[in-house]
């Protein structure tokens, strides 16, 4: 009746439970309860790094209760209806116990569970007393059972009420030691590695990968707490633990054992099988668009957070899909579905719409979040600098890798590592003969180039030539891919756009990368070219690189929406000048562009199509217009942009429609027309 929970869709230290339906038969409920009890007992084989004493007492109580329930099933096949109240209460309690044990044994949560030992002990106390409450209302006189079974029930009730669930003494000592280390970070005192190892050993964290799971979990919790604007004290503690675990990951563990990481050039394939998935199930029933932050209501139906909140703000208290009145307006994040949506979008080249909550989550990383977290990061930066300067080849590689990981999502970490002077040392490693060291270094520089000062430091240390060197001659295609992305971020500065354009290898290198079969390479190269084009003087350089036929082939052959949109963006920019229009028209692109406008599902892609068609009409003259008016399906697509397109697409579609109407009025006869291009630049459209 109740499926086994994976825990992946539930926030830790929350205990949702589903009340059995009123119409359920007593025997079905009893069987489900026994199965659930067996599921709980299966947790005995799992590792409890904390709460071991409380877990043992819980298992003992559940085992005794299962003996009672199994005897009822064996002796009373037809259970009377009055037992449903008791069994339902026990079922709710069993669900909460399973969630609690799930939290105690869940990978990546050990440090957080340790510092929440008081809260967890109280929850153990509540759920065990819930067993006594459920048994209190059991009608013993209505079922056939032995006196021993009745005595067992009374024993369970007494013990459940008297049981003392307190934090284990060893847990309390470990918390005290951990808090002392956090205080050292606040005071700028380097903690004793022996003390750190003692805490990690107590928690059962013996590998880099285990420590990394702790960091990822804490980062996720920090993002959720920040978005929800919850307890500030709790948020600071999470940030402090995040700093502690990040420090441990870099300083304590010498070897990276996680196969999906890039230390040794290995990257696991985490793609899941999405075959059989109905795409409509990934869309919000209200907005009919792909969900970015799916949440589930008490009715069991899932909606995008922003859509359902708007529904509630309109005064509705019902489920939009079923119309049933909601017992609660609580929104439970559907993390499993969110992961599937992100994976589906990634595999199909669909841009993921980031929720507003996620944007706030990014902004919170500007600060460390706590004094201990800030102190830990500053000490860690010094440690990594030392490894980059004085370490062995392996230590340099690991230091570059750790910087890469630390700077991937944290603005504060980027700032701290830029200020500490890591960039010049990372730039030197770009010339390394070790492919993994080169890849980790350029990936770290990519993250640091997202920081405003990081861009300046890279260019000031002659990093541009080194990055272009990796773009052209990188030892691994991944390194070339990261180099292209780094150029994109550097190109956000006008002076850098000039310097990149003047480098004779930069634009040809990006164009060459577009030819690579790897779509990540193509995408990074395309967005970098688009960024460089913002500087007018780079227009002719991009045209001279031969990119136009390459992009038109991409439009014809690629099934990825993101690559098509990026190619259209570049072509639309090139078409704004006459020489760009000439290059595009000579390749017979008109029919192709109209076809994309008609069939594309991307609003952005349609906007670029409309923008390019307008530029081609203006720069290509009446010959282009004459060709367009012969395509009957074009007008319908243009008119749809007036109401369905972006504001820019709407204005440009209106301009094209006006041009086409003027052509009809002025050329009612079949007289030939000539192009407004200079004679030497006349383009015949075929």
Nearest to 355 by CA among 300, 271, 293, 441: 293
Q: For 73, which DSSP code? A: H
Give the pLDDT confidence score for residue 371 in this predicted structure.
95
- What is the Cα–Cα distance from 480 to 515, expressed in whole angstroms? 13
Query: Cβ(664)–Cβ(629) under 8 Å?
Result: yes
**Opening angle at CA 274, ends 268 and 280, nearest 5:** 140
Sorted by sequence, the CB contacts under 8 Å of residue 670 that are 6+ apart come out as none
**Distance from C-alpha of 591 to C-alpha of 308, rounded to nearest angstrom:** 42
The low-confidence residues of the chain, meaning pLDDT below 70, are 1-9, 229-230, 258-277, 346-364, 668-686
At 600-650, the pLDDT tens digits run: 888 889 999 999 999 999 999 888 998 998 888 898 999 999 988 888 999
β-strand partners of 74: none
- Smallest CA-to-CA distance from 418 within 371, 384, 391 is with 384
**What ranges in 420-518 are assigned the alpha helix state H?**
422-429, 435-448, 452-460, 463-473, 477-490, 494-502, 506-514
> Can you give the pTM of this predicted structure?
0.80
Phi-psi region of 535 (alpha: psi -120 to 50; beta: other; left: phi over 0): beta
Token pair of 14 as six digits: 């929350």
What pLDDT, on a 0 to 100 scale, did the predictor assign at position 62?
94
Q: How far is CA 452 from the centre of its chain?
A: 24
**Element of type H or E holding 294:** strand 294-296
Task: Please enumerate in sequence order all residues whose Cβ is within 8 A of that of 515, keeping only pairs 6 or more positions apart, or say none.
Answer: 550
Per-residue pLDDT, 401: 97
Q: What is the rounded distance in angstroms from the CA atom of residue 536 to the CA atom of residue 523?
A: 22
- Please give the domain boundaries of the chain with CATH numbers for all domains: 26-167 (no CATH), 168-256+366-454 (1.25.10), 279-356 (3.30.40.10), 546-670 (1.25.10.10)
Sort strands 332-333 and 302-304 into parallel, antiparallel or unpaired: unpaired
- DSSP for residue 20: P
Phi, psi for 283 (deg, rounded to 5) = -105, 150
Task: Report d(CA 209, CA 260) in Å as an integer.
Answer: 10
The predicted pLDDT at position 443 comes to 96
* The pLDDT of residue 683: 40
What is the rounded CA–CA span in Å between residue 648 and residue 184? 55
- How much is the mean pLDDT over the chain? 87
């Amino acid at each position: 009746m109740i499926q086994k929970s994976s825990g992946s869709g539930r926030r830790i230290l929350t205990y949702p439970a589903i009340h059995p339906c009123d119409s359920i038969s007593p025997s079905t409920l009893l069987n489900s309860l026994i199965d659930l009890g067996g599921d709980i007992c299966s947790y005995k084989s799992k590792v409890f790094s904390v709460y071991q004493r409380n877990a043992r007492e819980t298992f003992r109580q559940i085992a005794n209760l299962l003996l009672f329930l199994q005897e009822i099933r064996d002796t009373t096949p037809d259970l009377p209806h009055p037992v449903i109240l008791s069994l339902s209460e026990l079922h709710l309690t069993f669900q909460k116990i399973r969630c609690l044990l799930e939290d105690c044994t869940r990978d990546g949560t050990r440090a957080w569970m340790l510092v929440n030992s008081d809260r967890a002990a109280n929850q153990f106390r509540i759920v065990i007393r819930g067993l006594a409450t459920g048994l209190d209302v059991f009608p013993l006189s209505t079922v056939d059972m032995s006196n021993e079974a009745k005595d067992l029930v009374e024993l369970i009730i007494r013990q459940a009420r008297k049981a003392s669930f307190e934090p284990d003494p060893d847990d309390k000592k470990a918390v005290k030691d951990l808090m002392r280390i956090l205080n050292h970070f606040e005071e700028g005192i380097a903690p004793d590695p022996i003390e750190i190892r003692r805490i990690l050993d107590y928690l059962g964290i013996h590998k880099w990968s285990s420590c990394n799971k702790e960091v990822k979990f804490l980062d996720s919790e920090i993002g959720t707490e920040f978005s929800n604007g919850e307890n500030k004290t709790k948020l600071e503690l999470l940030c402090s633990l995040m700093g502690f675990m990040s420090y441990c990951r870099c300083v304590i563990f010498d070897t990276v054992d996680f196969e999906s990481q890039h230390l040794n050039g290995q990257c696991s394939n985490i793609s899941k099988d999405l075959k059989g998935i109905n795409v409509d199930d990934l869309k919000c029933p209200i907005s009919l668009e792909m969900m970015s932050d799916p949440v589930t209501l008490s009715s069991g139906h899932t909606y995008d957070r922003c859509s359902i909140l708007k529904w509630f703000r309109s005064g509705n208290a019902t489920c939009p899909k079923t119309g049933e009145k909601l017992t609660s307006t609580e929104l439970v994040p559907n993390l499993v579905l969110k992961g599937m949506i992100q994976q589906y979008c990634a595999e199909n080249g669909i841009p993921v719409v980031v929720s507003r909550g996620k944007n706030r989550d990014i902004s919170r990383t500007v600060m460390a979040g706590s004094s201990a977290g800030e102190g830990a990061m500053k000490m860690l930066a010094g440690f990594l600098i030392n490894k980059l300067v004085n370490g062995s080849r392996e230590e340099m590689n690991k230091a570059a890798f750790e910087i890469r990981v630390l700077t991937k999502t944290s603005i504060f970490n980027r700032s701290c590592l830029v200020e500490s002077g890591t960039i010049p040392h990372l730039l030197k490693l770009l010339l390394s003969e070790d492919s993994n060291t080169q890849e980790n270094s350029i990936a770290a520089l990519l993250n640091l180039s997202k920081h405003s000062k990081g861009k300046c430091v890279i260019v000031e240390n002659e990093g541009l030539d080194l990055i272009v060197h990796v773009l052209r001659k990188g030892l691994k295609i991944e390194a070339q891919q990261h180099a292209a992305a780094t150029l994109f971020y550097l190109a956000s500065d006008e002076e850098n756009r000039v310097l990149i354009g003047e480098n004779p290898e930069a634009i040809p290198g990006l164009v060459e990368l577009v030819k690579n079969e790897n779509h990540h390479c193509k995408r990074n190269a395309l967005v970098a070219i688009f960024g460089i084009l913002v500087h007018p003087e780079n227009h002719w350089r991009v045209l001279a690189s031969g990119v136009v036929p390459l992009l038109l082939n991409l439009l014809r052959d690629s099934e990825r929406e993101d690559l098509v949109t990026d190619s259209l963006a570049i072509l639309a920019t090139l078409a704004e000048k006459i020489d760009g229009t000439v290059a595009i028209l000579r390749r017979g692109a008109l029919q192709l562009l109209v076809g994309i406008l008609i069939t594309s599902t991307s609003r952005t892609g349609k906007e670029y199509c409309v923008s390019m068609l307008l530029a081609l009409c203006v720069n290509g003259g009446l010959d282009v217009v004459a060709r367009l008016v012969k395509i009957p399906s074009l007008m319908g697509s243009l008119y749809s942009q007036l109401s369905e397109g972006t504001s820019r697409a709407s204005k440009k579609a209106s301009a094209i429609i006006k041009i086409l109407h003027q052509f009809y009025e002025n050329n009612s006869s079949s007289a030939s027309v000539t192009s407004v291009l200079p004679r030497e630049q006349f383009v015949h459209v075929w």
